Amino acid sequence: MCISKYLIAKLKCYMKTRRDFIKISALGAGTLALGAGISRYTFGSTVLDDLLAMTGGGKEKLHRYPTYCEVCFWKCAGWAHVTEDGNIKKITGNYDDPQCNGKLCPRGTGGVGMYNDPDRLKTPLLRVIKDGKQTYREASWDEALDFVATKMSDMKAKYGPESMALFMHGSPANYLTHLMKAYGTGNMAAPSFAQCRGARDVGFEATFGESVSSPEVTDIRDTRCLVLIGSHIGENMHNGQVQEMSQAIDNGAVIITVDPRLSTAASKSKYWLPIKPSTDIALLLAWIHVLIYDDLYNKEYVAANAEGLEELKAHVVSFTPEWAYGITTLKPDLIRSTAREMANAAPSTIIHPGRHTAWYGDDVQRTRAIAILNALLGSWGNRGGIFFKEGIKIPEFPHPEYPKPAWTWKDLLNGNYPLANEAPTNLVIEASSPAGGQEAKIKGWVVAGTNLVSTVPLKEQFKKALQSLDLLIVVDTMPMEITGYADVVLPECTYLERYDDIRTTAHREPTLGLRMPAVDPKNQTKPAWWIAKQLGERLGLAAFFNYKEYTEVLDWQLKQVGSSLAEMQRIGVKKIARKTSPYIEPGTPHIFKTASGKIQLFSHELAAAGFDPMPLFTKHPEPEEGFYRLIYGRAPMHTFSRTANNPNLVALMPENSVWVNPQVAGIWGFKKDQYVWLKNQDGEISKFPVKVRLTERIRWDSVYIVHGFGHHHKPLHLAYGRGANDTEMITNVMIDPIMGGTGMRGNFITFIKDDPRKETES
Ligand SMILES: Nc1nc2c(c(=O)[nH]1)N[C@H]1C(S)=C(S)[C@@H](COP(=O)(O)OP(=O)(O)OC[C@H]3O[C@@H](n4cnc5c(=O)[nH]c(N)nc54)[C@H](O)[C@@H]3O)O[C@H]1N2
Ligand SMILES: Nc1nc2c(c(=O)[nH]1)N[C@H]1C(S)=C(S)[C@@H](COP(=O)(O)OP(=O)(O)OC[C@H]3O[C@@H](n4cnc5c(=O)[nH]c(N)nc54)[C@H](O)[C@@H]3O)O[C@H]1N2
Ligand code: SF4
Ligand SMILES: [Mo]
């Protein structure tokens, strides 16, 4: 029996029992020594080193290599500067890149910490049983890849290729999607849909026929009025957007921020509307009411471009600011005066579409209300509003036609979530365990670049699925929680050590961006393109991977669009002249990409699918006495769990804190920086204590924490046990019936002052 068949046999026998969560630290001493410990880090010197690097301290000769950042998905282009002896000294922005204008955010500068992190995954790992216990052992690439390919071939024969699903985020997604399509499945899901931007995309598509993309096509640079509904730009550090907002402020634009918390953006705003959380739709409807009934909307634009005004007018007749006051706690005068500010600046007004919009389960309707406001103000297609993007399309490297899957995630919908145009992760997770006497449809997962454990808030379904799966492969750079459930862990090298696909941005102007390795991969790590190709070849799909090195693909693709790998290696970013206008040309009718060619104030598509064709306010439960609504967001120096163990960024922000209003703190007798445990409405207790931050910047009915902390996987030496994990507290999920997004802000927490556990689970 070949080694992989043997391992599969072994795997089968314990999979019938359960898939234990394995700490990778359970590995042999050799690996631990390589992994080093927290003592290797000295925060002071890490920061000092960075500062020295930035000021060019030492005057050594540096070589620079183009890259684009992978610390978040704004994908700023920059340069990795490497010393003669092969150390990455610093990363700087590329001045030719409109996404960053030569400046990286703190996370981008700290990206080198991803490369230097001693806790990185180093070799492929295989789940085995040793002394009756599940553990991992190191494996060679050949062994690990043979094992995965044998297992995937068996699954294809037994259950069909559709039984495999891919969960993905970031650069590895493309190569593995290609592999999975070639293999024969169409079940790819990204948390960046159902847990993030999905509701917004669907809401804008239903209204304007297209989404606002990434980077968003908001013309913040030239706006005269920017309205932020929750969007906390400045803490949400999407680079170009932050720069443009600060430019807009300098140019005297009016900023209106609606947030129960005095966010950084709110603190820079002319108007801060500290709304009662979950009531935004009431405010949006009242604004629509004022624009229509006070005759403030852009009549010419609406007449030329939109349909459904009469229906909308009748719909909002009773949604007055006085009505909204009772719901939102925002004074009617404030609602009227802010509506006037928007109208005065129109059409150079943006009601920001938001990005992470999985809030309360009625999120498509909220983003529809936002889209409708933009339409009434004439923002879409006007300078200072929302512009038309232009990009450059790079052809796919030639490959055979993909086989057609017998079924896809769409067949799992059963009439639910009719407007889901990408697979909701939660749907695929649910389909991965048996239900109603039926076998699970999905039997195996490949997970690449997403830490599902702290990303998807469906712990019970998730646990069930993990116990039912025949195969779980994780491609990651770090020993994040998800790796502890894998049968096979495949270590990817970091973005600074590899080529990746050409970045093709569609925005104000089309640009191309190159990422190339600045240094060789550390340890046994490999790029995801290589992993996909190796698996493809072993699965008999070599024709889909008809190249030796990925540079062949990149050079071929670049040549199709008038550039070359050699050119891009030199310049990193290439701007291409725009061919079309970013704005509606005066006198030229614009055809929107909706079925009728017009903006849908009244959505025929939603009506046909059985939903309210115009947004309605739904009342959501409120916290009971002694409980507070849990809201969450970003901090400028971290990207969710992606950076949680990054030594450079941990030095800047080692843990999160829970923001508590002083009134509430008074009731509880909290002192500054006291550590407390959180407990939610379902009795779920945070694994670790979290520091109290006393601040007037949060309403008394809510508490706030930054997402991405509270890791419980010990091999993450820096992240382990620091702060609280919001995902743990999110046991009530409100699913958007329109597209399957997981609303996560209907959870309420209370505090526990004394250690509720003698021993903390790890
Ligand atoms: N509770 C709660 N849940 C949320 C959110 C929230 O605010 N609160 N936010 C939601 C949002 S907006 C989003 S977009 C999602 C994001 O959630 P995810 O898609 O899960 O993103 P990350 O947390 O960044 O996970 C990134 C994973 O990728 C790995 N990784 C980093 N670089 C690489 C690489 O180059 N190659 C590979 N193979 N792996 C890499 C990291 O080690 C980590 O395991 O989470 C959503 N879930
Ligand atoms: N530094 C940094 N920047 C990031 C990321 C990161 O991890 N780190 N992640 C990126 C990603 S993937 C995304 S999707 C974006 C997400 O960032 P955004 O889309 O800007 O923000 P959200 O997560 O939707 O909202 C967070 C804000 O909503 C407020 N809020 C909570 N409840 C309510 C409510 O009921 N009504 C209103 N009006 N406001 C409310 C919170 O107080 C907080 O200020 O950030 C991106 N930028
Ligand atoms: S915004 Fe910051 S983290 Fe995101 S890609 Fe740009 S530099 Fe990197
Ligand atoms: Mo996101």
SS (H, E, C) 670-709: CCCCCEEEEEECCCCECCCCEEEEECCCECCCEEEEECCC
Question: Residue 529: which of 294, 262, 241, 178 has the closest Cα?
Answer: 178
- Burial (CB count within 10 angstroms: exposed 0-12, middle 13-18, buried 19+), residue 721: middle
Statement to judge: residues 655 and 603 lie in one domain? no
Q: Is 542 a member of any domain?
A: yes
* Distance from the alpha carbon of residue 641 to the mean position of ligand 1, in angstroms: 6
User: In terms of domains, do 132 and 219 share one?
Assistant: no
251 and 378 assigned to the same domain: yes
- Are residues 324 and 379 part of one domain? yes
Q: What is the pLDDT of residue 33?
A: 27
75 lines ligand 3 (CB under 6 A): yes
Residue 666 within any structural domain of the chain: yes
Q: Give the span between the Cα atoms of 583 and 568, in whole angstroms.
A: 30
User: Of 579, 608, 637, which residue sits at a domain end?
Assistant: 608
Q: Which pair of tokens denotes residue 253? A: 């634009």
**Residue 745 belongs to a domain with what CATH number?**
2.40.40.20
Please state the atom number of ligand 2 nearest to the C-alpha of residue 107.
1
| pLDDT confidence band for 25 (50 / 70 / 90) | very low
8 A C-beta contact, residue 168 and residue 177: yes
Please tell me the distance from the alpha carbon of residue 448 to that of residue 167, in angstroms, as a whole number. 6
424/307 same-domain check: no
Atom of ligand 3 nearest to the CA of 68: 5
Is 730 touching ligand 1 by the criterion CB < 6 Å?
yes
The domain that holds 15 is classified in CATH as 3.40.50.740
* The pLDDT of residue 22: 65
Q: What does the pLDDT read at residue 549?
A: 98
- Please check whether residues 602 and 704 belong to one and the same domain: no
Q: Quick one: 338 and 214 in the same domain?
A: yes
Residues 172 and 306 in one domain: no
Whether 718 and 597 have beta carbons less than 8 Å apart is answered as no
Task: Tell me the β-bridge partners of 573.
Answer: 513
Shared-domain flag, residues 455 and 334? no
**Given a cut of 90, is residue 131 above it in pLDDT?**
yes
pLDDT at 46 over 90: no
CA gap 369, 206 in Å, rounded: 11
* Residue 376 in domain: yes
Q: Which residue's CA lies nearest to atom 6 of ligand 3?
A: 76
221: which 2 tokens? Answer: 């640079």
Say yes or no: 221 and 307 in one domain: yes
Residue 473 lies in a domain: yes
Stated pTM of the model: 0.93
CA distance 582 to 570: 29
pLDDT tens per residue across span 557-575:
999 999 999 999 999 999 9
pLDDT of res. 23? 59
For residue 513, being part of any structural domain is answered with: no
Tell me, what CATH number does 314's domain have? 3.40.228.10
In a domain, 580, yes or no: no
Q: Are residues 480 and 603 in the same domain?
A: no
Report residue 438's pLDDT band, with 50, 70 and 90 as the boundaries: very high
Tell me which residue range forms the domain holding 679. Answer: 628-761
Residue 752 pairs with which residues in a beta bridge?
677
pLDDT band at 52 (very low <50, low <70, confident <90, very high): very low
Helix H or strand E segment including 740: none
Cβ(633) to ligand 2 under 6 A? Answer: yes
pLDDT value for 458 = 87
For residues 641 and 693, membership in a common domain is answered with yes
| Amino acid residing at 669 | G
Region 196-205: mean pLDDT is 98
Mean pLDDT of 649-672: 97
Ligand 3 atom with the shortest distance to the CA of 75? 5
Coil vs helix vs strand at 30: helix
The response to whether residue 196 sits with its C-beta less than 6 Å from ligand 1 reads yes
CA of 231 to the centre of ligand 2 (A): 5
Number of structural domains the chain divides into: 3
Contact by Cβ (8 Å): 215, 74: yes
- Asked whether residue 356 is assigned to any structural domain, the reply reads yes
Residue 319 forms part of a structural domain: yes
Identify residue 393 by its one-letter amino acid code: K
